[in-house]
Amino acid sequence: MNKVLVPLAKGFEEIEGITIIDVLRRAGIDVLVASLDANKLVKGANGITVQTDLEVKDITSDEIDMIVLPGGWDGTHALADDVNVQRLLKEMDAKGKNIAAICAAPFALNKAGVLKQNYTCYPSVEEQIRTEGYQGERTMVVEDANVLTSRGPATAICFALEIVKKLKGEEKYEMLKGGLLATYCGE
C-alpha cells in the first residue's frame, strides 16, 4: 500500500489539506497526517482545527512514498522553516521519490532546493520563488520530474486526483474522478 505524508502547520489552508487527505484515502492510500510539534491539534487558516496522527520528526523518507504540502501562507512559512520537513523534502528528492505542493507551498519546496524548473502556485507567490518556469494558469497541475504543483483551493480536487493517478494508476483515477463529479479535471 502506498504511504503519503501530509504535514499540517498552523495556518494551513483547510480546503487543500482536507481534500488531499480525503481523496487519497478514498483511493486506498495510507495517509499519515503529521504536526510539526507535540501539539497534535493544528488550527488552519480559517479556524478549523484538525487532529494529526503523529509528528513529522517521527517519519523517515524510507517509510513514505510521497510527501504532499498543503498551502496557506502561515502554514507554508512554518513548513519552509521546519528542519524536519526540509530534511524530508531533500531526502525524498535525492531518492527520486514523489513530492507535491499546492497554493503557496511550492515556496517551501523552493527553500529546500527541490522545486523543479516548471511549476505553478497561488498567483503572486511566484514573485517570492522565481518567475522562470512559472506556468500560471495554463494548467491546474504541473508535473516536472518527481514534483507535482498546483494553484490553490479551487484546484485541490484535481491536484489530489493527479496524485492518485501517479500512485494508483489511470483506472483508480478515472473511478474517483467520476465518483467525485470532477469531470473538469485533466482537461
pTM greater than 0.95 (yes/no): yes
Shortest CA distance to 14 belongs to which of 48, 39, 41, 42?
Answer: 48
pLDDT attached to residue 137: 87
All domains in the chain, ordered by first residue: 3-179 (3.40.50.880)
pLDDT tens per residue across span 49-65: 999 999 999 999 999 99
The residues with which 6 forms a beta bridge, in sequence order, are 33
Q: Is 103 a catalytic residue?
A: yes
The one catalytic residue in 103, 121, 158, 185 is: 103
